[in-house]
């Protein structure tokens, strides 16, 4: 129990078990660190080469799109996959520092910039230092519901939440700009929880400049370079960006918001949270996606969200290898390893968005069957 009398996530195991859990997960992590090397470096370099080849091929095919519809479809598909790879498997993971050990200045978290509206430096601060440190702690993890959604019963219901399904859909379509707003902490600013300091003004300047460059590249420069095919190129760029945004939004929803993924009250988290306590919170607050290898690559291996939240700095291509070890460890401690197919996780996450757009208990009072709340016992949650 905490000082506030609210049970924290470690209460279900006890201090000795939490300490043992921490040591076992530390051993898994160290096993990857001790064996990473040329094979892993070759993997990320290969993915980067494929991404750049796809983007180049897509641009070339779009040049012929004014004459052939198949050229537009193929070019748009190649460009979409290139943008997905740049955002998910490359950008997200490079900026986590997963490849810094290579000492390659071209593939390093301190130098990498991605094809995204939000500047890399701001994203690293808000995501790496904020979200991964305070994962799923209400009022501390600004990534929880992207600061605009109600994703837990403990969050007070307001009439505006009725519109959150529509807002979530719009957020998916323009997700890169939603992330840019999140990195600026505009939600906290609106609620009066942050000041318009000189740092905010500088962050705003950097974000607007980056968003302007991205928009100019996709919606002005490349269409102009396409000559007579400028309309087809413009449409292809819009399509690729929207599909990339919807895909990345869906992947993030699957890893953080399905029914059964837990959230935590601030009062339940110990001030002296141990490594084992932190590991436990990451496990309870994340969910995996099952599927083939291609799915894992296209999700940036965030299909292994549990493993990523436990070990955010390990090479992403190793998550699939250690997932069976992590799952065995989780289940041996009597905890739930939350893993389902992508359609089921997407449906579950949207179910939560819809359910929590209404006041607590509204569905039950009106005779509509509902799933258990996200902070219920993970052993008895739906899909366990």
Closest CA to 337 of 314, 356, 310, 316: 310
Q: Which two tokens stand for residue 286?
A: 């994340």
SS3 87: helix
Asked if residue 156 has pLDDT above 90, the reply is no
Least confident residue range of 48-52, 67-71, 222-226: 67-71
pLDDT given for residue 152 in this prediction: 85
What angle (nearest 5°) sits at the alpha carbon of residue 335, between those of residues 11 and 332?
110
Mean pLDDT value across the chain: 87
Q: Which two tokens stand for residue 270?
A: 């110990």
Q: Give the pLDDT band (50/70/90) at residue 82.
A: very high
pLDDT above 70: percentage of residues in the chain: 87
Q: How many helices (H) and strands (E) does the chain have?
A: 17, 2
pLDDT given for residue 375 in this prediction: 41
pLDDT given for residue 56 in this prediction: 96
In the chain, where are the structural domains located?
Answer: 9-37+114-332
Residue range 267-311, pLDDT digits in tens: 777 777 889 999 999 999 999 999 999 999 999 999 999 999 999
pLDDT given for residue 3 in this prediction: 36
Closest CA to 222 of 234, 211, 204: 234
Task: Judge residue 278's burial from the number of C-beta atoms within 10 Å of its C-beta, 0-12 exposed, 13-18 middle, 19 or more buried.
Answer: buried
């Amino acid at each position: 129990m905490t000082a506030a009398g609210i049970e924290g996530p470690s209460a279900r195991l006890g201090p000795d078990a939490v300490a043992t859990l921490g040591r076992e997960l530390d051993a898994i992590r160290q096993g990857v660190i001790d064996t990473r090397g040329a094979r892993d470096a070759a993997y990320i370099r290969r993915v980067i080469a494929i991404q750049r080849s796809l983007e180049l091929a897509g641009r070339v095919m779009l040049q012929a799109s004014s004459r052939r519809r198949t050229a537009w479809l193929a070019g748009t598909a190649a460009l979409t996959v290139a943008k997905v790879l740049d955002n998910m498997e490359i950008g997200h993971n490079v900026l986590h520092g997963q490849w810094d050990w290579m000492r390659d200045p071209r593939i390093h978290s301190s130098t990498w910039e991605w094809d995204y509206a939000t500047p890399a430096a701001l994203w690293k601060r808000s995501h790496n230092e904020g979200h991964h440190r305070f994962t799923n702690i209400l009022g501390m993890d600004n990534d929880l519901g992207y600061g605009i959604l109600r994703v837990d019963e403990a969050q007070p219901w307001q009439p505006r939440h009725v519109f959150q399904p529509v807002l979530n859909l719009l957020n998916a379509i323009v997700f890169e700009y939603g992330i840019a707003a999140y990195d600026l902490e505009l939600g906290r600013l609106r609620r009066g929880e942050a000041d318009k300091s000189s740092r905010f003004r500088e962050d705003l300047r950097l974000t607007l400049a980056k968003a302007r460059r991205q928009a100019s590249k996709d919606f002005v420069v490349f269409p102009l370079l396409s000559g007579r095919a400028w309309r087809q190129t413009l449409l292809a760029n819009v399509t690729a960006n929207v599909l990339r945004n919807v895909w990345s939004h869906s992947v993030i929803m699957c890893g953080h918001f399905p029914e059964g993924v837990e959230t935590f009250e601030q009062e339940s988290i110990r001030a002296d949270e141990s490594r084992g306590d932190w590991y436990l919170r990451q496990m309870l607050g994340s969910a995996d996606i099952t599927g083939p290898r291609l799915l894992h690559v296209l999700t940036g291996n965030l299909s292994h969200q549990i493993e990523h939240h436990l070990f955010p700095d390990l090479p992403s291509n190793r998550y699939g290898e250690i997932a069976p070890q992590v799952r065995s460890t989780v289940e041996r401690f009597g905890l739930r390893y939350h893993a389902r197919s992508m359609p089921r996780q997407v449906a579950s996450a949207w179910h939560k968005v819809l359910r929590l757009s209404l006041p607590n208990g509204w569905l039950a009072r009106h005779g509509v069957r509902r799933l258990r709340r996200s902070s219920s016992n993970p052993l008895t949650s739906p899909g366990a």
